[in-house]
């Protein structure tokens, strides 16, 4: 494969998407569609990939980085013109080129291997991927002569004029022999709408008696070119299905697969069960034996083994093993929940660490806090972290007991084993082993055998 290169055409305006985002950077399962195309090429594997970029150059370079090389097309004058821009860089370097539209994210490496193999074995000048069974609207029709040879691809705009139709469609993936392609590329005629169609090369090759081969894609959806939002939604559901299947085969259960939405960068361990209406997004890792959902949304987080997240939202956080959250709680970014923590319902944790075995059962808020191990955070307790201008920190020691409805006015520290009474407003530090009660709370030393949490009223 050393004498091959791949070229992805990605400089088009994608007007039919009606979007400020370049078409090829729209995401499917949280990943830009162009990445799927470049991944499939890497998986073949082909040694080098060039991407033709244009008005969207900076954004595409940011996404693909230096995993590929770039060619600039300063004006989007059509797919043929896009390919022409690669000529100065490539014509002396490679014998064959694989050209792909950047809007074909469902294409699989195996299909690319097939078309490459067929191209090499047949010695064709052009080999193109064809599909039957797609909605033909907007696609080029493959025209064959009486003996079955491909003689043209007719674009939809030209069909009426030419009066030609066919149910065999052009899938937008081609292999070319370089020594024929590069000299001919400059000869593509301008179409009526002012564009230079890459597909004109087919008729040009046929007219000079070059061998043109077609390889049928098998599953036509693999050749789906994303031209508008309906295509994008179709691709999303196919990619979701592929991702779920892969996870199921790796030991993950889905109670209702179609209502689970999993991003491409998500990893899930064996024996985890995903319940209905669950979204797991971004770069998220979920351990083994977890119960996630129903109605959970987890983004960019690490969830340890044996966790349970029910009807709750977890964002940008770490849950160590055996943590349970929900229903109806919210773990906001930069939280670290240690082993065995219980977070019940209507609780919010923001940018905080909760130590091993801590319990936060009902209606409470912990923000900008460091909470020790085996702390009990009573119903309605709040770390009052914001003074209207700045955020402040709350530190709670190990084995402390924060009584129901305690208001901890940050910055404030509550020592190890200290107790705050129900309804107390704590605006001074509470020493270790002290009991703080009242509004504002006053601290006194806890008496041996008395002042158990139950007595601190």
Write out the catalytic residue numbers.
362
For residue 105, the partner it binds in Mg ion, ligand UD1, none, with Cβ less than 5 to 8 A by kind, is none
3-class DSSP state for residue 384? strand
- Which residue of 56, 127, 227, 443 would you call a contact of Mg ion, by CB under 5 A? 227
Q: Is 103 in the site for ligand UD1 (CB under 6 A)?
A: yes
Least separation in angstroms between CB 243 and Mg ion: 23
Q: Does 188 bind ligand UD1 (CB under 6 A)?
A: no
Any contact of residue 170 with ligand UD1 (CB under 6 A)? yes
Residue-wise DSSP of 5-34: EEEEE-----GGG-SSS-GGG-EETTEEHH
Segment interacting with Mg ion, rule: CB under 5 A, options 190-198, 222-230, 249-257, 351-359: 222-230
The span from the CA of 437 to the CA of 265, in Å, is: 49
Site for ligand UD1 contains 198 (CB under 6 A): yes
In the shown chain, the binding pattern of residues 130 to 149 toward ligand UD1, with x for contact by CB under 6 A and - for none, equals: --------xxx---------
Dihedral sign of CA atoms 297, 303, 305, 306 in order: negative
Closest to Mg ion by CB, 171 or 293: 171
Q: Which of 4, 17, 127, 155 binds ligand UD1 (CB under 6 A)?
A: 155
Q: How far is the CB of 185 from Mg ion (least distance, A)?
A: 20
Among Mg ion, ligand UD1, none, what does residue 198 contact (CB within 5–8 Å per kind)? ligand UD1
Residues 78-107 interacting with Mg ion (rule: CB under 5 A): 103
Which positions ≥6 away from 428 have C-beta within 8 Å?
Answer: 412, 440, 441, 443
Does 214 help bind ligand UD1 (rule: CB under 6 A)? no
Question: Measured from the CB atom, is 71 or 396 closer to ligand UD1?
Answer: 71
By beta-carbon proximity to Mg ion, the closer residue of 17 and 97 is 17
Helix (H, G, I), strand (E, B) or coil at 315: strand
Give the separation between CA 377 and CA 405, rounded to whole angstroms.
9
225 binds Mg ion (CB under 5 A): yes
Decide: is 197 part of the binding site for ligand UD1 (CB under 6 A).
yes
Q: How far is CA 285 from CA 56, 304, 319, in A?
A: 32, 8, 10
Q: Which stretch binds ligand UD1 (CB under 6 A): 167-175, 280-288, 348-356, 376-384?
A: 167-175
Instruction: Name every residue whose Cβ is closer than 8 Å to that of residue 58 and which is 6 or more positions away in sequence.
Output: none
Concatenating the DSSP letter of every residue in 40-71 gives: HHHHTT-S-EEEEE-TTHHHHHHHHGGGSEEE
Contact pick of 28, 82, 238, 318 for ligand UD1 (by CB under 6 A): 82
Minimum separation from the CB atom of position 34 to ligand UD1 (A): 8
* H helix count then E strand count, the chain: 9, 42
Residue 173's Cβ-count burial label (10 Å; 0-12, 13-18, 19+) is buried
Q: Token pair 């149910």 is at which residue?
A: 167
**Residues binding Mg ion (CB under 5 A):** 103, 225, 227
């Amino acid at each position: 494969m050393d004498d091959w290169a791949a070229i992805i055409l990605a400089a088009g305006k994608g007007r039919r998407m009606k979007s400020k985002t370049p078409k090829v950077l729209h995401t499917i399962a949280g990943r830009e569609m162009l990445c799927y195309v470049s991944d499939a090429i890497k998986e073949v594997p082909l040694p080098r990939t060039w991407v033709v970029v244009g008005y969207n150059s900076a954004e595409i370079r940011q996404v693909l980085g230096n995993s590929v090389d770039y060619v600039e097309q300063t004006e989007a004058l059509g797919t043929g013109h896009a390919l022409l821009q690669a000529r100065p860089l490539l014509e002396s370097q490679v014998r064959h080129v694989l050209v792909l539209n950047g809007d074909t994210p469902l294409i699989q490496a195996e299909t690319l291997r097939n078309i490459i193999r067929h191209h090499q074995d047949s010695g064709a000048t052009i080999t193109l991927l064809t599909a039957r069974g797609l909605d033909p609207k907007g696609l080029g029709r493959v025209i064959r002569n009486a003996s079955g040879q491909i003689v043209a691809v007719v674009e939809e705009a030209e069909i009426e004029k030419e009066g030609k139709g066919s149910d065999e469609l052009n899938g937008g993936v081609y292999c070319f022999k370089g020594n024929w392609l590069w000299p001919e590329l400059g000869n593509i005629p301008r179409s009526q709408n002012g564009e230079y169609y890459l597909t004109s090369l087919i008729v040009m090759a046929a007219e000079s008696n070059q061998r043109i081969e077609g390889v049928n894609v098998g599953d036509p959806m693999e050749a789906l070119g994303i031209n508008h939002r309906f295509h994008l939604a179709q691709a999303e559901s196919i990619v979701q299905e592929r991702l779920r299947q892969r996870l199921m085969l790796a030991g993950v259960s889905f109670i209702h697969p179609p209502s689970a939405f999993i991003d491409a960068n998500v990893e899930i361990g064996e024996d985890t069960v995903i319940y209905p209406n669950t979204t797991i997004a971004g770069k998220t890792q979920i351990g083994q034996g977890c119960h996630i959902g129903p109605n959970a949304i987890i983004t960019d987080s690490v969830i340890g083994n044996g966790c349970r997240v029910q009807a709750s939202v977890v964002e940008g956080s770490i849950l160590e093993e055996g943590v349970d959250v929900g229903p109806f709680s919210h773990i906001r970014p930069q939280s670290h929940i240690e082993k065995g923590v219980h977070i019940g319902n209507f609780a919010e944790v923001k940018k905080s660490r909760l130590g091993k075995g801590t319990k936060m059962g009902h209606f409470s808020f912990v923000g900008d806090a460091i909470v020790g191990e085996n702390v009990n955070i009573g119903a309605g307790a709040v770390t009052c972290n914001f003074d209207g201008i700045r955020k402040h920190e709350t530190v709670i020691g190990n084995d402390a007991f924060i009584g129901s409805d305690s208001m901890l006015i940050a910055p404030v520290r509550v020592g190890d084993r200290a107790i705050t009474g129900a309804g107390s407003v704590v605006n001074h530090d509470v020493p270790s082993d002290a009991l703080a009660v009242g509004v504002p709370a006053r601290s006194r030393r806890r008496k041996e055998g008395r002042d158990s949490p139950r007595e601190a009223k």
